[in-house]
Amino acid sequence: MSAHPALLLPAAKDLAAALPASTDVAVIGGGLAGCALAYYLARAGVDVVVVERGELNREASGTNAGSFHFQIAIHQLTGSDGDADAARLHEDVRLHADAADVWSGLEDELSADLGVHVTGGLMVAETDDELRTLIRKQRIERDAGLETELLTGRELRDFAPYLAGDLTGAVYCGREGHANPLLAAPAFAARAIEAGALIRTHAPVLDVEEASGPGGTRFRLRTGAGDITAGRVVNAAGAWAPEVAGLSGLSLPVYSDGLHVNVTEPRERILTPMVQHIGRRLTLKQAANGTFIIGGGWPARPERPPARYSVRWDSAAGNTAVAVRVVPALRDVRVMHMWTGVIAFTDDLLPVVGEYRGLPGYYLCLASTGFTLGPIIARTLAEHLAGRSGGRLPAGYAPDRVPALTRG
Amino acid sequence: MRGAAATGREQSCDLLVIGAGPAGLAAAATAAGHGLRTLVLDERPAPGGQVYKQPGPGFRILDPARIGRDYLRGTELARRARESGAELRAGTEVVALRGTDAVVVESGTSYPVNARRLLIAAGAHDRPVAFPGWTLPGVVTAGGAQALVKASRVVPGNRVAFAGSGPLALAFPAQLRHYGVNVVLVLESGPRPGPAALAGIARAAAGNGELLRDAAGYRWQLARYRVPLRYRRIIVAAEGDGRVEEIVHAAVDAAWRVVPGTQQRVAVDTICLGYGFVPADELLRLAGCAFGYDEDLGGTIVQRDDWTRTSVPGVLAAGDVAGVRGALSAADQGCLAGLRAAADLGALTETQAEQLARPVRARLARKERFRAALAPLYAVGPGIYELAAPATVICRCEEVTRAELDAAIASTGDVNVIKSYTRAGMGLCQGRNCRRQVAALVAASTGMSIADVPLPTPRPPARPVALAALADDSIRDEGLFIRD
């Protein structure tokens, strides 16, 4: 259990503060990336304002299941070419190992209970083919410095007796775990405000203009809560990043889908590690309060605004079928509710982080399916914006790698 | 809906009725009587709903005449529904809705029902009221106590205090006393009916004699048993070591706010609360129906036209789920819903439906006048939502205190965000017990009216459902976030 205060939230009056006329860095989007950026920038002494169109943490940042995914997942493997996967994923896996460090120190850093639990994680295989894929991916992880362990047969049975007896194998990563996605971004926001950041909710960005001046390009943001000029802009709008980019004439290939998650009634602990599947869509864990959270990438149905996504019953049925296949003891556990969230991703499923050279001063901070990576990419980008030497982001994350990112 | 396993059960019908209480049974009898293939689902083991509750399996009625008019009415309604050809499936739960289609859970498996018209007649549940000590063992709701006594013949407690309000609130303590419960104190938060109010009720009472006789009868029964009945008082706290041992009750003003210096203590081991009912509206919310607000009818109330149609095409609502008006009104509303479905599907012409509806509507109008005359006497005062202390648990499922809710409300006025910060309303009851209390706290903090506090986003399943009942191995993974 965390020794930190239960609920660290920004005050309503701070979130309704008037926008200043100008700032150094304007961040668009009050999700995990935006709130973490505000925190790390303010701590580095950089003048920062976050504008959020609604409430904080309401989209992908707050509707994912809070898992730390450090192992390579099925959707990251092309399946055809092991060497290409290795080259593409090498730096990515290494950054995930660094992300594990950030998460394990985050509750102390923010003095807040974020529900961080390092439980370890299992990625299971059901067939011999899947076991071969596990072996291949584990080699990439090992070469990149992420400690994982392959378990089969008796060893797996002893380590994880709750798994179905006929699974062919699993890879265990001791660093995986989860945090409470409902509390991480608000805690970042509260500490950011303490450090001098301004975070304004209910301030949709309506237009972004550029004006050249003596100090270079400046950006003028017209928002629902007034205008503000900024030396630099960070687009951290997640699934809505393409719309925000469009205000600056940028075409940004970021896509979004609706995601289905099931939560069960609380039960006595039977399961410590998170459980994933290398061949089927499953992420399963038992939270600290005893509920099982079951997801893994099953779709939700898009709805007309203002609704976002509704539950698809076939997703519930398919998702729970995989869950009881892998952990049979779940059969009689009752699903208490289902929620839907949004998930944003790119063509290569890697984040887009850094300055877009085609528009100097315009930055992107988008983690593709990225609760895990949100804090570390925000911290690294903040170090860069503050002019400090810090961690390096993988070259594969650079906005300029995205061929379809164009202006005009 | 795809994803619910096939079980060989009837998978389609003309009219699907959810709830076999007075509204649902009357609708089924009407619709099936006009030839509609009608399916009635109820989560209880026997039809009848809460008021016309029938004894559970294992209980046999030896002398129907002695068991009460409600039982006989329930039997009669269920018989009519069955004889009309409607199919009744007891012990079934509806867990999800889309349009007029439902996912049904029965005996550990789930199956879809595709219906051309859907009637939601899910009834009401006790209005939850939080005060210091309300989560102690020994605190029961009137509905809960009634269910215990009627269906299981179990009597709660040795010394029982009843607190509540409403024209028929006194029915509960009178009934409990009748079954041998030692009721030591009855508190009615409404005023002692004065001559002017009684005159108003009498004027509106034409055709409602039965209701008036009932109300008078309950008061007379309490007097006969020498149960102290006190008006304009509520329970403000329950105390005890591990269970209720004592209550604090106090006088309240017209807004149900405590009058300082009027607190009194009484030793009891059971508290029975009957502050009226609120609609069990979760299926209406899942269906996406539009809502309005009427405190006297139970708070957030589904919008309907005079044919019981909601804002969602094909979805009807009747009985207490659409505003708490009681069993007699519910049966008439159910009748209207049955006629509407029959006309919609061509079993009746519009003219025939109108003709058949006319006397039903006249009866409903009479009852509505009576209810409107009584409502001001028993209007729920906002003070009832202001009793919780900082350490009082508001959300029982997730054990969230008022202090924690206050902390979240200091950050945002958005009910969904408050829910996400505190988990209040995320537990097994899906917010049925804390929703109103949270809304009242938001209203008090933001200065907005409780009527304007939005409802939190509804989440399926409407009832908890076992993974095994849900799981379907034939569903194909479509490959989310992989683009072609």
Dump the DSSP string for B345-374.
TTSS-HHHHHHHHHHHHHHHHHHHHHHHHH
Whether residue B474 has pLDDT greater than 70: yes
End-to-end Cα distance, chain B: 26
Mean pLDDT computed over B249-267: 96
Nearest to A124 by CA among A270, A275, A327: A275
A182 touches chain B (CB under 8 A): yes
Integer Cα distance of A66 and B100 in angstroms: 34
Cβ within 8 Å, pair B464-A265: yes
Query: Can you spell out the DSSP letters for B213-225?
Result: HHHHHHHHHHHHT
For A322, A334, B6, B216, the CA distances from B1, given in Å and listed in that order, are 20, 20, 11, 50
Cβ within 8 Å, pair A347-B483: yes
Lowest mean pLDDT among B37-41, B197-201, B267-271, B315-319: B197-201
For A373, B49, B89, B198, the CA distances from B107, given in Å and listed in that order, are 44, 20, 11, 50
Integer Cα distance of A216 and A218 in angstroms: 6
Whether residue A405 has pLDDT greater than 70: yes
Cβ within 8 Å, pair A298-B480: yes
pLDDT tier at A112, thresholds 50, 70, 90: very high
pLDDT for position B35: 97
Q: How close, in Å, is residue A216 to chain B by CA atoms?
A: 38
pLDDT for position B171: 79
Residue of A14, A293, A313 best to disrupt the B interface, most CBs of B under 10 A: A313
Integer Cα distance of A381 and A353 in angstroms: 7
pLDDT for position B484: 43
Q: What percent of chain B has pLDDT over 70?
A: 86
Integer Cα distance of B455 and B440 in angstroms: 12
pLDDT for position A91: 80
A338 vs B411, B413, B460: nearest CB:
B460
Q: How many CB atoms lie within 10 A of CB B264?
A: 12
B103 → chain A, closest CA residue: A313
pLDDT for position B190: 87
Q: What is the pLDDT of residues A175-184, one digit of tens each?
A: 999 999 999 9
pLDDT tier at A1, thresholds 50, 70, 90: very low
Mean pLDDT computed over A353-379: 92
A315 touches chain B (CB under 8 A): yes
Mean pLDDT computed over B340-349: 98
Lowest mean pLDDT among A130-144, A156-170, A190-204, B6-20: B6-20
pLDDT for position B61: 47
Mean pLDDT computed over A268-272: 95
Cβ within 8 Å, pair A332-B468: yes
Q: What is the pLDDT of residues B405-437, one digit of tens each?
A: 999 999 999 999 999 999 999 988 889 889 999
More confident: B120 or A70: B120
Q: Which helix (H) or strand (E) holds B411?
A: none
Integer Cα distance of B268 and B278 in angstroms: 27
Helix residue spans in B34-94 (DSSP H):
64-67, 69-83
Q: What is the pLDDT of residues A114-128, one digit of tens each?
A: 999 999 999 999 999
pLDDT tier at B57, thresholds 50, 70, 90: very low
Residues in B closer than 8 angstroms to A321, CB to CB, are 471-473, 475
Q: What is the 3-state secondary structure (H, E, C) of B153-198?
A: CCCCCCCEEEEECCCCCCHHHHHHHHCCCCEEEEEECCCCCCHHHH
Residues in A closer than 8 angstroms to B470, CB to CB, are 316-317, 320, 335
For A375, B268, B413, the CA distances from B182, given in Å and listed in that order, are 62, 10, 45
Residues in A closer than 8 angstroms to B1, CB to CB, are 313-314
Which one-letter DSSP state was computed for residue B252? B
A292 → chain B, closest CA residue: B467
Residues in A closer than 8 angstroms to B416, CB to CB, are 58
DSSP E strands, A196-305: 198-200, 205-213, 216-223, 226-235, 250-251, 254-264, 274-277, 283-286, 292-299, 301-302
Q: How close, in Å, is residue B406 to chain A by CA atoms?
A: 11
Question: A390 exposed, middle or buried (CB, 10 Å; 0-12, 13-18, 19+)?
Answer: middle
Lowest mean pLDDT among A373-377, B74-78, B320-324: B74-78
Whether residue A78 has pLDDT greater than 70: no
Cis peptide before B55 (omega within 30 of 0): no
Q: Which helix (H) or strand (E) holds B211?
A: helix B209-224
DSSP E strands, A347-381: 352-355, 362-366
More confident: A320 or A6: A320
**Paired residues of B308 in beta bridges:** none
Q: How close, in Å, is residue A181 to chain B by CA atoms?
A: 9
Count of A–B CB contacts within 8 Å?
142
**Paired residues of A228 in beta bridges:** A221
Q: How close, in Å, is residue B135 to chain A by CA atoms?
A: 19
pLDDT for position B124: 93
pLDDT for position A213: 76
pLDDT for position B166: 76
Q: What is the pLDDT of residues B210-253, one digit of tens each?
A: 666 777 777 788 888 888 899 999 999 999 999 999 999 999 99
Q: What is the pLDDT of residues B351-400, one digit of tens each?
A: 999 999 999 999 999 988 888 877 877 788 889 999 999 999 999 999 99
Query: Which positions ≥6 away from B226 have C-beta within 8 Å?
Result: none
Whether residue B9 has pLDDT greater than 60: no
